[in-house]
């Protein structure tokens, strides 16, 4: 899924910035090709890559058999990660996605 990045926030993600944020939030992260790769809790695989200074692509795979507690913690950490990399809160991300959906841009 693609996410908008707050204007001016993309500079923090350049170079090794995206990997450092993933490592801070998830405990470990590595670079594979042009992707940052990590895993955490019920999230068995995360791939993230800057498309440009205003867009980031993030794909995840989750374990459907994970316990409710592990899944809840994973969602919490994933939202922390998204806020740190996009610069937008979950409410702001939701509003932006709803607007794009109404405009037919999704």
Domains in the chain, CATH or no CATH each: 2-102 (3.30.310.190)
Residue 6 predicted with pLDDT over 80: yes
What average pLDDT score do residues 79-105 get?
91
DSSP element (H, E) containing 96: helix 90-102
What average pLDDT score do residues 53-76 get?
94
pTM higher than 0.95: no
What average pLDDT score do residues 28-46 get?
95
Inter-CA distances, 18 with 49, 62, 90, 106, Å: 8, 21, 19, 24
């Amino acid at each position: 899924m693609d996410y908008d990045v707050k204007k001016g926030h993309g500079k923090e993600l350049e170079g090794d910035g995206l990997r450092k944020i993933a490592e801070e939030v998830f405990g470990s992260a590595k670079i594979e090709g042009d992707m940052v790769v990590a895993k955490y809790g019920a999230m068995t695989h995360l791939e993230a890559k800057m498309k440009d200074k205003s867009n980031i692509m993030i794909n995840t795979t989750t374990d459907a058999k994970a316990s409710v507690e592990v899944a809840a913690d994973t969602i919490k950490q994933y939202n922390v990660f998204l806020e740190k990399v996009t610069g937008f809160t979950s409410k702001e991300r939701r509003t932006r996605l709803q607007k794009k959906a109404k405009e037919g841009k999704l």
